[in-house]
Amino acid sequence: MANQVTLEELVDLIQNAVRPGPITRIFGLGSTGINEVSEVLRRFANSNGTGESVESLLGSSPLNSPLNGIIGIIINIIEGFINPRPTLPSPFARLARANLGNNVLMTTTAGTVEGVVAEVGSWYVVLTEAAGSTVIVNLENTTAFQPYNPGVA
Amino acid sequence: MTFAERVRECVGEIVHVATIVDTVPGILLSSNNNFLTLRASSAVGYGPTGNVATLTSSTAFVRTTE
């Protein structure tokens, strides 16, 4: 089994890469900038799970704004590795929103569910089934969406 | 709001978590972008009593009956 890399180890790797390495050359950071980048990355590692935003981390640092931009980019890259999340809404969200209150069929990787669209998020749809139960559908694993009125031929 | 955040509103409820290979019934303990965690019991048909973590990204839907 492959070893699991912790967030702290990942940050260490990035910090080592930042030192005289390629990132330094790409962003043109001096030694002061490198220390500041390391400080914010350390703070980021300590903030994991607290919900503290990148903006608040940067806001509490004494950094000047161009460096903030660079650190923000690096942190966003790390966050992308740690916790990849789709940023755009699912294409199904628009279809579902247009069918709020209507009965629909949704085909997922675990089968088909049917119900009235009660709520729509960027990557989920809440259906109310005929039996009264609620189904929260993950649009990431949805393959088809169909308005469906069994009373109409 | 993400799928995981919406599911988190059901913590404490009896749910059925449907994945591509199985449906796991149990009491929802937690939900985040990595895992949905349930307390499953033999009474609801999923092996011995214990916590079951399913990958959030592999979850197709969550059904609640309450």
Give the pLDDT score at A95.
Answer: 94
Verify whether the Cβ–Cβ distance A136 to B58 is below 8 Å: no
With CA atoms as reference, the chain B residue closest to A119 would be B6
pLDDT digits (tens, 9 = 90+) for A116-132: 999 999 999 999 999 99
Phi, psi of B20 (to 5 degrees): -65, -25
Q: How much is the pLDDT for A151?
A: 73
CATH assignment of the domain containing B54: 2.30.30.100
- Burial per residue of A119-152, b for 16 or more beta-carbon CB atoms within 10 angstroms, e otherwise: bbbebbbbbeeeeebbbbbbbbbbeebeeeeeee
Q: How much helix, strand and coil, in percent to the nearest 5, is found in chain A? A: 45, 20, 35
Asked if A12 and A78 sit in the same domain, the reply is yes
What DSSP state is assigned to residue A102? S
Task: Write out the residue range of the structural domain in which residue A75 sits.
Answer: 7-82
> Domain residues for B22?
3-64
Between CA B1 and CA B22 the distance in angstroms is: 26
Find the helix or strand (DSSP H, E) in which B41 lies: none
Q: What is the interface pTM, i.e. ipTM, of the complex?
A: 0.92
Residue numbers of A between 102 and 141 with CB closer than 8 Å to B: 108-111, 113, 119, 121-124, 126, 129, 133-141
* Of A149, A152, A134, nearest in space to A103 by CA: A149
Query: Do A70 and A15 sit in the same domain of this protein?
Result: yes
Average pLDDT over residues A98-117: 96
By the CB < 8 Å criterion, does A24 face chain B? Answer: no
How far is A97 from A23, CA to CA, in rounded Å?
A: 43
Domain count, chain A: 2
pLDDT digits (tens, 9 = 90+) for A58-104: 555 554 455 666 666 666 666 666 555 556 888 999 999 999 999 99
